[in-house]
Amino acid sequence: MSDFPQHAVTRSAKLAALPLGFAGRTALGLGKRIGGKSAEIVAQEIQQRTSEQIFRVLGELKGGAMKLGQALSIFEAALPPEVAGPYRATLTKLQDAAPPLPASTVHAVLTEQLGDDWRANFLEFNDTPTAAASIGQVHKAVWHDGREVAVKIQYPGAGKALLGDFNQLARLGKLFGVLLPGLDIKAMLGELRERVAEELDYLREAESQHGFAMAYHDDPDFRVPDVIAANEQILVTEWMEGTPLSKIISGGTKEQRDHAGLLLVRFLFSSPSRAGMLHADPHPGNFRVLPDGRLGVLDFGAVNRMPDGYPDVFGTLTRIFNKGDMATVVQGLRDEGFIRPHIEVDVEALRAFLAPYVEPTQVEEFTFSREWLQKQVATVTDLRPTNVVRQLNLPPSYVLINRVHAAGIGVLCQLGTTARFRDEVVRWVPGFADDDPEGRATALAAS
């Protein structure tokens, strides 16, 4: 009946088992140390087994556990492929193939939310969903005035299950501290919980989507379908036809993939200044390439409100990184909370970790590829205590921005896009072009 088939007791039991399992492994590690194994080897074994259990349980659950897993995706670089690989596959399956609600349940939700005469709102309503995700599904319909519309319906009980997951996950701070000692997991969970609570409110999503639609109205590069009607659990928007970005990834021409990737970057970088918001869920399912070449954007449940635009610190620290001044970069990351006061980092390891985010800004034209990303990830994939990824923190205010950056790079690598990305950074990211008073995208030596 619902996207959350497990009973609450079962879900809680799975999450509650995590700290118990960790305690058992710690005792096992002590025994091994007495038996002669080095503390570092034992620590690595405990970390690896802990990570395996965390990622397995998060993959089995949906809701809040899945949201946490998505937010932690950047830290997968600190995990061995045999752990992170199956977990990523599980997340993808959860996102792309959530089981749809039966028609009878859909009708019951519509009756509850819109009244017994809900059909009077529509000339037609297709009972078969066109898309299903973690907290709701979308149906195509014809509004009473003849317009084709998308009707987004929230799964019954989705909110309670999601927030219940976060209440359980909040108790696991110590466990995550073993795996990622530099991360303030409690603060991160608190921020995620607030954002998820917003995502459950379709009225808030409607407000966000309408804001984007107004900001990009009649834009030559983008289309955002506007909102027609909404309440807390039903959202009706304009219908939008187009080729899913996933199909451009799998079968598009080089020209189509280059164009789509450039528009994706332009949209993500421009929206904080144009709309005062950042679309925080940039996976391929939320984008369409329209027949006229524009990029259509869907699903505004996860939105980071940025009324002051993009944080200056990103552009400023990127520019300083490109000049090679890592001491200033490290201090800037400390000032912003990415490196907590008690943590010391290996500067060269940090440089290697940041390279994928910064390298495309160093040249006039850059090509993203899966091979390039795999090479970058390989530089930081280990479980040693000195692994720089494990030493980093994700400040609450940057949780969604980080999610966008990590996911965006992943999509660009899937597309294999070649484009002038640096131009977009110069144009839209404050602080980056301070040394370029005319605002031109002059190339830096990529040494």
Highest mean pLDDT pick, 58-72, 151-165, 429-443: 151-165
Which is higher by pLDDT, 429 or 94?
429
CA distance 375 to 367: 14
Helix axes 185-199, 202-215, angle to 10 degrees: 80
Instruction: Supply the pLDDT for residue 134.
Output: 66
The residue written with tokens 């599904």 in the block is: 137
In 15-134, beta strands by DSSP E: 122-125, 131-132
Give me 388's structure tokens.
């720089």
Q: Phi and psi of 328, rounded to 5°?
A: -70, -35
Whether this prediction's pTM lies above 0.85 is answered by no
Residue type, 25: R
Residue 376 has pLDDT above 90, yes or no: no
**R_g over Cα of the chain:** 23
Residue 294 near residue 413 (C-beta atoms within 8 A)? no
Mean pLDDT of all residues in 97-124: 85
Q: Helices (H) and strands (E) in the chain — how many of each? A: 18, 14
pLDDT confidence band for 181 (50 / 70 / 90): low
